[in-house]
Structure 1
Amino acid sequence: MTRQPPIQTIRPRGRPPRDRLDPSRDISQAALGVFASKGYEGATLKEIADEAGVDPSLISYQFGSKLNLWKAVIEGLGRELQNLLADLDVPAPDHDPESSVRSALSEITRFMCENTQIPHFAARDVFRDDERTEWVNENLFTPLVEHLGSRLEKVWARGRLRPGPLNMLILQFGYGMAINIVRREQLIRSMPELADDETFRRELTAMLIGSVFRDG
Structure 2
Amino acid sequence: MTKATTAPKPLKTARYDGQENRRVVLEAALRVFSDLGFEGASTRAIAAEAGIEQGHLAYYFPSKMALWQQVIETFARQGEAYLQAQLTPETLVDPVATAEIVLPQFLRSFAANPRLTRLMLQEFSVLSARHEWVVANFGQPVWQMLEPLFNGLQAQGRLAGAPPVMAYFTLIGAALITFGNPELIAQFSGVAVDDTGWASQAIDHMLVPIFASA
TM over 0.5: yes
For normalisation by structure 1, the TM-score amounts to: 0.79
Q: Larger radius of gyration, structure 1 or 2?
A: 1
Matched residue of 1:211: which SS?
helix
Calculate the aligned-residue CA RMSD, in Å.
3.1
The CA deviation at 1:93 is 8.3
Matched residue of 1:135: which SS?
helix
Determine if contact 1:75/1:139 at 8 Å carries over to the other structure: no
Extract unaligned runs of 5+ from structure 2: 1-9
Aligned mate of 2:166, from 161, 165, 168: 168
The CA deviation at 1:178 is 0.6
Q: Which amino acid aligns with 1:105?
A: L
Q: Could you tell me how far apart the structure 1 residues matched to 2:176 and 2:16 are? A: 39
Aligned mate of 1:201, from 185, 199, 202: 199
Give the aligned partner of residue 181 of structure 2: 183
Extract unaligned runs of 5+ from structure 1: 1-7
Determine if contact 1:59/1:65 at 8 Å carries over to the other structure: no
For normalisation by structure 2, the TM-score amounts to: 0.80
Aligned mate of 1:122, from 120, 125, 136: 120
Determine if contact 1:119/1:178 at 8 Å carries over to the other structure: yes
Task: Give a deviation string over 1:124-181, Cα, whole Å, max 9, x none.
Answer: 1112111111122233322321221111112211211233332222121111101011
Q: Could you tell me how far apart the structure 1 residues matched to 2:193 and 2:159 are? A: 31
The CA deviation at 1:17 is 8.7
Give the aligned partner of residue 18 of structure 2: 19
The CA deviation at 1:186 is 3.3
Give the aligned partner of residue 84 of structure 2: 86
Query: What count of residue pairs does the alignment treat as equivalent?
Result: 205
Q: Which amino acid aligns with 1:142?
A: Q
